[in-house]
Structure 1
């Protein structure tokens, strides 16, 4: 084992835990040093490649995460089974930052104040498990918490309706690597506000200041769906009915999310105004939406 690489890894993990303000610059310096170690022939055994992959997984650009994937896979090929999950996570991060469906389900994207699992491709659960990742249903429920700073597994209990439930999960801090949500205007609502949509088919409404006021997305139907937030103080869940359908309301620090099943998917609609959330839900249920209230 390369002892310098172990020291660099320990520094990396300490900075990540403490979210040191100088972390980004220190990460860059560590990656530069790892590159030199590689050129000097210092990556020899499986642990060396694993440590180098972890450091590059905390990079800033697509080549960093692709390199992390290749090094983690090299560690796996050399017999390091614990590098399997890292290889899957690195590949998913590389895909996530391109707006593509992820493969294994190891990355989450902040959307409307809630961390969501991006759409995944048709990778089988068997292949996921072969790379150290749990099944898609378990990822949607966040049964496997590897790679996430979890404060509370279920912070405020669970709310259940017919055939599915919502668990609120609280992180100790926001995730360090999260791309901004980018999209194109898909239409306008009745107040002439733009309705945006990204490559995943996730939708949101912005006000005149460019701030998201309401957002919504479909989630694959699963027995349990995780509602993942960071630094939450006030939490409240309620099972209810809306237009004759069972729904679940989640309130986190005066931000609301309504969950409703429609045509085999669970829709999550988030915002600060319950009335506007209900209006978007109406558009979804009666099929009149691509954009709510199109002009």
Structure 2
């Protein structure tokens, strides 16, 4: 459709704007040409978000691929609401069967939480200023939920951070983490989500409910919606 082709084009432009930084060492990012490129990228990002918002307002974004493209564009926003919008779009895409959208659902939730001065809950945001770390990070979410959300287990993340600290390049550290064995228990998550929400753990309960919905547990979607409204009201 026209909507799909427009969104796909915008996503390609979004990625192209970032390629200059992927292709050059971080030590050069303060050079005048990179500073100018970053400013242009910020302007382009804002324009793309405005264009996607018009499509959302018109009710034109439905397909999983389209929701994913829109989420990718909004995750490069500047404020908490951009990340929350990206999270919801990624969740819709993941519900529709879009594989990579699971990881984006997790990453955008963590990014939103950190922006509103809450600890990340899934564990997707790494910091390499000094020893690699993920703080602030609430590690209480079960690994089963992390895996359902397309994220690494705690042991995998610890392996990745150790590898970075030992001097491995990021891609090599990611590969090292991927070699850590993972056992899926497929234990139901909705019951744990409800218990967490009843115990006033809104963030943990919401994250587990999202994981349950993505694993197609019956009854999970309404729990996600109720918790999301509460999350948006209390944290935005």
- Same fold judged by TM-score > 0.5? yes
Per-residue CA deviation, residues 45-69 of structure 1 (Å, 9 max, x unaligned), is: 1000000001111110000000000
Which residue, out of 119, 124, 131, partners 2:142?
Answer: 124
- Highest Rg: 1 or 2? 1
Structure 2 length-normalised TM = 0.59
What stretches of structure 1 of length at least 5 have no aligned partner? 144-152, 156-165, 173-223, 225-295
Aligned partners of 1:115 and 1:60: how far apart in 2?
Answer: 24
1:5 counterpart residue number: 7
**CA displacement at 1:120 relative to structure 2:** 2.6
Root-mean-square deviation (Å): 2.3
1:140 aligns with 2:169: no
Aligned partners of 1:115 and 1:28: how far apart in 2?
Answer: 30
Structure 1 length-normalised TM = 0.48
1:286 counterpart residue number: none
More strand by share: 1
Per-residue CA deviation, residues 59-97 of structure 1 (Å, 9 max, x unaligned), is: 100000000000000111222232100000000001122
Q: Contact (CA 8 Å) 1:103, 1:121: kept in 2 or not?
A: yes
Alignment partner of 2:166: what SS? strand
1:66 aligns with 2:65: no
2:97 counterpart residue number: 79
2:17 counterpart residue number: 15
**CA displacement at 1:100 relative to structure 2:** 1.7
Per-residue CA deviation, residues 162-220 of structure 1 (Å, 9 max, x unaligned), is: xxxx5323459xxxxxxxxxxxxxxxxxxxxxxxxxxxxxxxxxxxxxxxxxxxxxxxx
Aligned partners of 2:116 and 2:168: how far apart in 1?
Answer: 27
Alignment partner of 1:168: what SS? coil
Q: Which segment drifts farther, 99-108 or 29-38?
A: 99-108
- 1:174-213 pair list within 5 angstroms: none
Aligned partners of 1:115 and 1:8: how far apart in 2?
Answer: 32
- 1:29-108 pair list within 5 angstroms: 29-108=47-126
1:168 counterpart residue number: 167
Q: Contact (CA 8 Å) 1:141, 1:167: kept in 2 or not?
A: no
Per-residue CA deviation, residues 93-118 of structure 1 (Å, 9 max, x unaligned), is: 0112233221111012354x444212
More helix by share: 2
What stretches of structure 2 of length at least 5 have no aligned partner? 22-36, 172-176, 178-236
Matched residue count: 153
Aligned partners of 1:4 and 1:114: how far apart in 2?
Answer: 41
**CA displacement at 1:140 relative to structure 2:** 1.9
Q: Which segment drifts farther, 15-24 or 28-37?
A: 15-24
